[in-house]
Amino acid sequence: MSASRRSLSLKRILKALLVFVIALIILWFIPTPYCLRAPGEAVEADNIVAVEGGDKSAPGKFYLTTIFQQQANVLLTLGASVFPDWELVPQSKTGGKCLSTYDREMKEQMAESKIMASIAALKYSGYKIPIKREGVIVMSLLPESKSKGIIQRGDLVIFAGGKKVHSSEGLASILKDWPEDKKIPVIFEREKSAFKRHIELINYHGRKIIGFRPLNYVEVDKLPVKIDIKTHFINGSSAGLIFSLEIIRQLKGVKFKDEKIAGSGTIDAQGNVGEVEGIDLKLKGARNVGAKIFLIPEGQYKEYKDKTYGMKLIPVKNLSSACRVLSARYSGKNAAP
């Protein structure tokens, strides 16, 4: 081949490569109405949680599981058909947006989750924690909410249907039993004043809700033990259960078997475990670090009991049931959650 032909062939290859790169760049910047979710990192809890006077060398290794999530462009949407661990979620199911790791609401959830986990763990370990004030904060209203103009961001819901609201899990339980066609009386605080209003419920993916994103809130005096939880890039409320168990492990309140234990679940100040999103992706993340056990909220066990990825799934209702089952594993006994 002559030098001129080789030069022409090289130019054609470079031109094709340039067109290909430009096409990839264009596809990267074209958004879609989907969020891309994939298994995130499974993080060792003892690298995050530090308890004053605690023993990090105590047996047991807990892992909190995470999800990678971002706005899906055309290129990532195509990639989801190639990579089995990737999934696309319509933004309509995420409140019309993709909640990124650094989203304001997710940061607020993580900050409150640390407090809830610390209180629950210390109470389980025998400490007295007087609660001064508690309820559920309105983080934001959903587009379809019937409560617009009644409640707003920052309001603290303290009663619903005549019952005290301790947490979002407790509020969900109250709403579950409330007639869908009947407005529910709600008492909330705003700027040190209390208001009572009757609000129409909505059906949101099969659940009766008031129509806002909740954030558990609890106010206490200084905790009797200093607990430092540094999550850095991790946000959201789903690590609450693992935080509590790690605190208990370091306090040596329960003897755990020396094995890798992963899990996911919110927690409130009473130690109740709440449901979370993305269990399937978190199971895959736990599998990737070789976890043997995965703790799952009791209400979600039935859906995932046949999708274990080689791990033993243990359903837990609260912190006490989780500790009871894990303590039984240490002693070689079987215990129902």
Cα–Cα distances (Å) from 298 to 4, 36, 290, in that order, read 72, 27, 23
Contact 32, 73 (CB under 8 A): yes
Query: Which of 68, 61, 113 is CA-nearest to residue 293?
Result: 61
pLDDT above 70: percentage of residues in the chain: 93
Structural domains in the chain plus CATH codes: 35-98+112-128+223-331 (3.30.230.10), 131-219 (2.30.42.10)
pLDDT tens for 233-277 read 788 889 999 999 999 999 988 889 889 999 999 999 999 999 998
Cα–Cα distances (Å) from 311 to 36, 65, 110, 232, in that order, read 25, 14, 27, 28
Q: In this model, does residue 96 exceed pLDDT 70? A: no
pLDDT tens for 12-22 read 888 788 888 88
Cα–Cα distances (Å) from 274 to 69, 204, 319, in that order, read 21, 17, 11
For 57, the token pair is 């060398």
In which band, very low, low, confident or very high, does the pLDDT at 334 lie, cut at 50, 70 and 90?
Answer: low
Lowest-pLDDT range of 87-91, 158-162, 311-315: 87-91
Contact 139, 213 (CB under 8 A): yes
pLDDT above 90: percentage of residues in the chain: 57
Rounded mean pLDDT, 73-101: 71
Q: Which residue did the predictor score with more confidence, 319 or 100?
A: 319
pLDDT reported for residue 206 = 84
Rounded mean pLDDT, 307-328: 94
Lowest-pLDDT range of 92-101, 110-119, 120-129: 92-101
Helix (H) or strand (E) holding 23: helix 3-28
Helix (H) or strand (E) holding 302: helix 301-304
SS (H, E, C) 87-122: EEEEHHHHCCCCCCCCCHHHHHHHHHHHHHHHHHHH
In which band, very low, low, confident or very high, does the pLDDT at 26 lie, cut at 50, 70 and 90?
Answer: confident
pLDDT reported for residue 327 = 92
Rounded mean pLDDT, 93-100: 56
Q: In this model, does residue 85 exceed pLDDT 90? A: no
Rounded to 5 degrees, what angle do the CA atoms 234, 237, 243 make?
80
pLDDT reported for residue 102 = 40
